[in-house]
């Protein structure tokens, strides 16, 4: 842009940056809003594959959650320590062949309160367990701060 001023042509060129900043600000806002709008996440699990050496001393305290066909959930507590004389079992009955999630949550909270050293869980679904129920079970485990959740194939 040549500015004519008192007969002398000035070759200075000044670009108005305000519109550029406005456009970039709109792009940033759009990207931030679309990032929040996408609701997909992931539930991660890690499976052991016999990497444990034979010389390992002891297994961590673990809760096994068996999902039976009639909506019944059986929690089995193992490897709680030398003070454990027998296997602890907690049975949560289903309602109309559906899992009673409120009772499951209460049982898990009670187990965690009684045995705070439990940080590992294994979910054992049966072949006709719904995928949604399996995910819900893992989600309930994470809610009571059981971080290491595994999935046992049948």
Partner 1 sequence: MRSILKNQMMQSPLANQSIIRPKGNRGRKSLVITLVLTSLVDAFCMLVIYLMFNISPSEQASMISKAGQLPIASHSDTLERGTVVRVEGDKYFVNEQAVAPQNLTQKFQQIKAQMGQAPDILIQADKSLNFSAFNPIILAAAQSGVHQFKFAVFHGGNGK
With binding defined as CB under 8 A, does residue 106 bind partner 1?
no
85: phi then psi, degrees, rounded to nearest 5? -100, -30
With binding defined as CB under 8 A, does residue 19 bind partner 1?
no
Q: DSSP secondary-structure letter at 71? A: S
Question: Tokens 């049948």 belong to which residue?
Answer: 154
Of 38-46, 54-62, 82-90, 110-118, which segment contacts partner 1 by CB under 8 A? 38-46
Q: 60 with 81: CB under 8 angstroms?
A: no
Residues sharing a CB contact under 8 Å with residue 66, sequence separation 6 or more, in sequence order: 73, 74, 75, 76, 124, 126
The CB-side HSE value for 81 (13 A sphere, CA atoms) comes to: 5
**Residues 58 to 97 in contact with partner 1, rule: CB under 8 A:** none
Among 11, 31, 54, 96, binds partner 1 (CB under 8 A): 31
Query: 91 or 135, CB closer to partner 1?
Result: 135
Among 101, 103, 119, 148, binds partner 1 (CB under 8 A): 101
Q: How far is it, in rounded angstroms, from Cα 121 to Cα 39?
A: 26
With binding defined as CB under 8 A, does residue 131 bind partner 1?
yes
Footprint of partner 1 on this chain (CB under 8 A)?
A: 3-5, 12, 14, 16-18, 20-21, 24-25, 27-28, 31-32, 34-35, 38-49, 99, 101, 125-132, 134-136, 138-140, 142-143, 151, 153-154
């Amino acid at each position: 842009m040549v500015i004519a001023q008192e007969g002398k042509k000035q070759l200075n060129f000044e670009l108005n940056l305000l519109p550029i900043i406005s456009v970039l600000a709109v792009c940033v806002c759009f990207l931030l809003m679309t990032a929040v709008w996408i609701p997909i996440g992931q539930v991660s699990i890690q499976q052991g594959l016999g990497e444990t050496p034979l010389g390992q001393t002891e297994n961590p305290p673990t809760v096994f959650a068996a999902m039976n066909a009639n909506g019944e959930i059986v929690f089995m507590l193992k490897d709680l320590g030398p003070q454990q004389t027998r296997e602890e079992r907690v049975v949560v009955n289903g309602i109309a062949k559906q899992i009673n999630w409120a009772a499951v949550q209460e049982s898990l909270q009670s187990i965690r309160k009684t045995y705070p050293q439990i940080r590992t869980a294994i979910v054992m679904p049966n072949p006709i367990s719904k995928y949604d129920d399996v995910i819900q079970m893992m989600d309930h485990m994470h809610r009571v701060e059981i971080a290491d959740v595994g999935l046992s194939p049948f």
